[in-house]
Amino acid sequence: MASRFRVTLLGTGVPIPNPERFGPSTLIEAGDQTILIDAGRGATIRLSQIGVPIGRLNALFLTHFHSDHTVGIPDLWLTGWLNSHFGSRRNPFHVIGPTGTQAMMRHLEAAYARDIDIRVEDEKLVRDYASITVHEFEHDGTVYEAGGLRVIAFVVDHGDAIKPAYGFRIEYEGRVAVISGDTRYNENVVSYGCGADLLIHEVAIAPPELLFEARVQRIIAHHTSPREAGLVFARAKPKLAAFTHLVMLGSERIPAPSIESLIAQTRETYCGPLAVGEDLTSFDIGEAVVMNRASGAVHGPSVCARQTGPPILDSLPLGPERSK
> Would you please indicate which residues are annotated as catalytic (active-site) residues?
68
5-28 burial, b at 16+ Cβ within 10 Å, e below that, comes to: bbbbbbbbbbeeebeebbbbbbbb
Alpha-carbon gap, residue 25 to 42, rounded angstroms: 9
Residue 3, pLDDT score: 84
Tell me which architecture the domain covering 5-309 has in CATH. 4-Layer Sandwich (3.60)
Q: What is the 3-state secondary structure (H, E, C) of the chain?
A: CCCCEEEEEEECCCCCCCCCCCCCEEEEEECCEEEEECCCCCHHHHHHHCCCCHHHCCEEECCCCCHHHCCCHHHHHHHCCCCCCCCCCCCCEEEEEECCHHHHHHHHHHHCHHHHHHHHHHHCCCHHHHCEEEEEECCCEEEEEECCEEEEEEECCCCCCCCCCEEEEEEECCEEEEECCCCCCCHHHHHHHCCCCEEEEEEEECCHHHCCCHHHHHHHHCCCCHHHHHHHHHHHCCCEEEEEEEEECCCCCCCCCCHHHHHHHHCCCCCCCEEECCCCEEEEECCCEEEEEEECCCCCCCCCEEEEECCCCCCCCCCCCCCC
What pLDDT is recorded for position 203?
98
Please tell me the distance from the alpha carbon of residue 155 to that of residue 324, in angstroms, as a whole number: 33
**What are the per-10-residue average pLDDT scores of the chain (324 residues)?**
88 95 98 98 97 96 98 98 93 98 98 98 97 97 98 97 97 98 98 98 96 95 98 98 97 94 98 97 97 56 31 36 31
- pLDDT confidence of residue 2: 63
What Å distances lie between residue 176 and 64, 95, 150, 193, 198, CA to CA?
22, 22, 10, 8, 7
pLDDT value at residue 295: 56
Which residue ranges make up each domain of the chain?
5-309
Q: If we measure between CA atoms, which residue out of 2, 57, 42, 21 comes closest to residue 243?
A: 21
